[in-house]
Structure 1
């Protein structure tokens, strides 16, 4: 019965443990996502500090070998473009920012994520004169700058440009008009106000491939044991720890969803399964308990089977040791079970008088009834410390143990009266003759010697008239 109660209790404990672990896991997820955002912001701040390297590259160069195209004056310095707009007189020299060197410095840490740098040096001169530097010397910039300045109009998706001078903006599906390229980008814009107009002062333009997110996203999976991915605002997967993940998330409800700070990207963490909530130690403990219950249950079952087997063997043994008709012991009991010595022993050998005549006159069925009735009478007087045998035919043996002579004779006289009073055959009285010996029995030899003496007394009782007790 106890095992029927234990199994439901284990199931309840299983689900309680899963519930507790789910709460702990969710707390771990929140903490891990917070750390993800902290590390992400730290990476961005490192990037921003490295951008300051640009000022170190500033050097004074002569103003030579330039080309004029309408209101744009431009020239190439080692692959970098320098563009002057709306200038009427040319300086002898100017400050040049080595964008190539800055880019190489940044690329060493950010996996070639930097596509190009554009820096706009605004001068408070008439006609909004300014100089623009870019690490990409191209006629494309000439065409762009002829139509306007380095401002919002350069970008097709204006939301890609943050108006906050101190923060970055991370957006997706952003196309710049200069290169006509759609990409995921992180930009660090800075603005100045000139003639009440907001102008983009400087732009560091990065296209981050999945490697940029891989380090921190993989760490999420390592800590939580759950797959994680980064998606953009259109639910497109930018990076996933699950190689089988589709390129677009269809149902975001299958994930825990968290914002990636200051971006329209999101961090998704797959929801755990039930068995993911069960820790190794709990599985071990539950397995151990189940094994222990199984072992105890098996042990109890074996114990019951053993008990049943013992009972069965006992029954078989009893059947083997007893005579079938009367259920009294047989001579095999004497060989296997009788123990010696026996002190103060009463040996009683009795024989049913004229039993052959009963069988001949009334049939063997009546004879069997007489044998059973006499054996039942013997059982009544031998209750306690005595063993009763069907010694053979109509002859019975009773061994009384640790009994006085007086009690022995009383038992025998009582048995004689019980047999006399048996009413089995109409108009026929049943009697028995008794031979009694009182002695100590040390072993089987003295036992058989005592039985022999009792048999002599029985013979005397039968010879002198039957229905008698000849003792000692």
Structure 2
């Protein structure tokens, strides 16, 4: 007894120790994710500085060689597009940002993660006048901007954009309406004041692929030795250190979930498995527990041997209740084990047709083979819902309990077909006759009375041609 108590204490100690390790790991995860957000904010500030650099590289270009298509004025400068929408008067020149150069410069700093740049110079919210600069000129943009404002079509959420130019918002709600690219967008708003009211002057859209997160996510994985994923608000995977990760995550149960600051994205850290929580001291505990288990098992072996003797006696007792040829219950089971009353009981008595002819024609070995085959059919229809007996010779009894008439007849019809489908004697069809009644049985006396009624139905079935079911 003392060993079992000691064994139990060691197990508790093991779980306490692993719980402490888990708590320490979770604290480490929290601090590491905090550093992730700090590094991410530094990357964003670097991006903001690059935007400031764009202002220093702008050029004054003459406003010539443009085309007009309904409410859109557009032209192509070295593969970069400039589009004017709903503008009634035009300057002689305008400021054009060299977006291709800016894109190459940004990609050199952000792991080639920048895919697309769109810059909106918004003149007014009321009439939605705007100038759109894009690093990829496309006439498809012209057709899109005829009817749709890029700004109003970009935001599917009413969440406000920060009015502090040093801040940013990161959304997955912007969709490239022309190329249908599934990207996420970092938005830098710019504001100025006009007639004592604040006006949105411009928005910068930077569409990235998942590589933007690669450096910080891999650093987090190297620290924690756990896979890290970044997902958007719709649980789509933007980046994952687990290369086998699916495109979207249906449940977050297997992850620790943290917000990505100032965004609607989340940082997922996979939950650890038990092996990652086991240290040296836990290994010693496991070894000692295994040794103790071996000792206790050795001690219990004698007890098991004694109990096996009891099991053997129980098996012998079970054998007494079964008829040896078919393994169905015998009448001794009825005397010793049957419990009364039995309500909604179906009594089925069946007899193999012309069994004496089978023995005389094919021999008693074949006759025994037929008895086993029929008993196997009976087991198929009675398992779990009935008690089946070899009642004597080629006669069998089935007691269906807590059932209804329709179910009993269905079982009997199935059994009749199973027996007829037996193909174990050459050029001979095996059939059986059935007598069935449905009643409530109060005690052993009413049981034998019910069997007698079933036997009369069986006699009728045999007398009127055999291979029949006479019921109720």
Scaled by the length of structure 2, the TM-score of the pair is 0.52
Contact 2:229–2:241 (8 Å) recurs in 1:
yes
**2:36 aligned residue:** 36
| Match status 1:183 vs 2:183 | yes
Secondary structure of the residue aligned to 1:272 is coil
Alpha-carbon deviation of 1:246?
3.4
In the alignment, the residues of structure 2 paired with residue 113 and residue 241 of structure 1 have an alpha-carbon distance, to the nearest angstrom, of: 16
In the alignment, the residues of structure 2 paired with residue 65 and residue 170 of structure 1 have an alpha-carbon distance, to the nearest angstrom, of: 37
CA 1:223 to 1:207, structure 2 compared with 1: closer, same or farther past 3 Å?
A: same
In the alignment, the residues of structure 2 paired with residue 122 and residue 229 of structure 1 have an alpha-carbon distance, to the nearest angstrom, of: 36
In the alignment, the residues of structure 1 paired with residue 172 and residue 34 of structure 2 have an alpha-carbon distance, to the nearest angstrom, of: 22
**1:325 aligned residue:** none
Alpha-carbon deviation of 1:46?
1.2
Contact 2:221–2:228 (8 Å) recurs in 1:
yes
**2:24 aligned residue:** 24
Post-superposition Cα deviations, 1:126-145, rounded to whole Å, max 9, x if no partner, equal: x9986543323233444455
In the alignment, the residues of structure 2 paired with residue 108 and residue 89 of structure 1 have an alpha-carbon distance, to the nearest angstrom, of: 36
Contact 1:154–1:178 (8 Å) recurs in 2:
no
**2:61 aligned residue:** 61
1:253-268 pair list within 5 angstroms: 253-268=253-268
In the alignment, the residues of structure 1 paired with residue 137 and residue 199 of structure 2 have an alpha-carbon distance, to the nearest angstrom, of: 22
Alpha-carbon deviation of 1:34?
0.8
In the alignment, the residues of structure 2 paired with residue 128 and residue 28 of structure 1 have an alpha-carbon distance, to the nearest angstrom, of: 49
In the alignment, the residues of structure 2 paired with residue 173 and residue 129 of structure 1 have an alpha-carbon distance, to the nearest angstrom, of: 22
Contact 1:217–1:228 (8 Å) recurs in 2:
yes
**1:209 aligned residue:** 209
Gaps of 5+ in 1: 298-472
Contact 1:75–1:83 (8 Å) recurs in 2:
yes
CA 1:97 to 1:254, structure 2 compared with 1: closer, same or farther past 3 Å?
A: closer
In the alignment, the residues of structure 2 paired with residue 101 and residue 163 of structure 1 have an alpha-carbon distance, to the nearest angstrom, of: 27
Post-superposition Cα deviations, 1:71-115, rounded to whole Å, max 9, x if no partner, equal: 544322211223445354652x44332122111111112233333
Gaps of 5+ in 2: 296-472
In the alignment, the residues of structure 2 paired with residue 271 and residue 18 of structure 1 have an alpha-carbon distance, to the nearest angstrom, of: 14
Alpha-carbon deviation of 1:147?
4.7
Alpha-carbon deviation of 1:27?
0.7
Secondary structure of the residue aligned to 2:209 is coil
Alpha-carbon deviation of 1:30?
0.7
Find the structure with the greater CA-based Rg: 1
In the alignment, the residues of structure 1 paired with residue 231 and residue 171 of structure 2 have an alpha-carbon distance, to the nearest angstrom, of: 11
Alpha-carbon deviation of 1:37?
1.2
In the alignment, the residues of structure 1 paired with residue 247 and residue 177 of structure 2 have an alpha-carbon distance, to the nearest angstrom, of: 27
Secondary structure of the residue aligned to 1:107 is helix
Secondary structure of the residue aligned to 2:115 is strand
In the alignment, the residues of structure 2 paired with residue 155 and residue 225 of structure 1 have an alpha-carbon distance, to the nearest angstrom, of: 38
In the alignment, the residues of structure 2 paired with residue 130 and residue 174 of structure 1 have an alpha-carbon distance, to the nearest angstrom, of: 18
Contact 2:171–2:264 (8 Å) recurs in 1:
yes
**1:48 aligned residue:** 48
Post-superposition Cα deviations, 1:141-195, rounded to whole Å, max 9, x if no partner, equal: 4445555766x32426245872434322222253244555443222223344667
Contact 1:187–1:205 (8 Å) recurs in 2:
yes
**2:80 aligned residue:** 80
Secondary structure of the residue aligned to 1:201 is strand
Alpha-carbon deviation of 1:48?
1.5
In the alignment, the residues of structure 2 paired with residue 184 and residue 231 of structure 1 have an alpha-carbon distance, to the nearest angstrom, of: 10
Contact 1:228–1:268 (8 Å) recurs in 2:
yes
Secondary structure of the residue aligned to 2:45 is helix
Moved more, 267-276 or 100-109: 267-276
In the alignment, the residues of structure 1 paired with residue 177 and residue 258 of structure 2 have an alpha-carbon distance, to the nearest angstrom, of: 32
Scaled by the length of structure 1, the TM-score of the pair is 0.52
Contact 2:162–2:169 (8 Å) recurs in 1:
no
Contact 1:160–1:171 (8 Å) recurs in 2:
no
In the alignment, the residues of structure 2 paired with residue 292 and residue 129 of structure 1 have an alpha-carbon distance, to the nearest angstrom, of: 81
In the alignment, the residues of structure 1 paired with residue 129 and residue 242 of structure 2 have an alpha-carbon distance, to the nearest angstrom, of: 52
In the alignment, the residues of structure 1 paired with residue 233 and residue 122 of structure 2 have an alpha-carbon distance, to the nearest angstrom, of: 34
Contact 1:116–1:135 (8 Å) recurs in 2:
yes
**2:467 aligned residue:** none
Contact 1:115–1:205 (8 Å) recurs in 2:
no
Alpha-carbon deviation of 1:52?
1.5
Contact 1:113–1:206 (8 Å) recurs in 2:
no
CA 1:196 to 1:182, structure 2 compared with 1: closer, same or farther past 3 Å?
A: farther
RMSD: 3.8
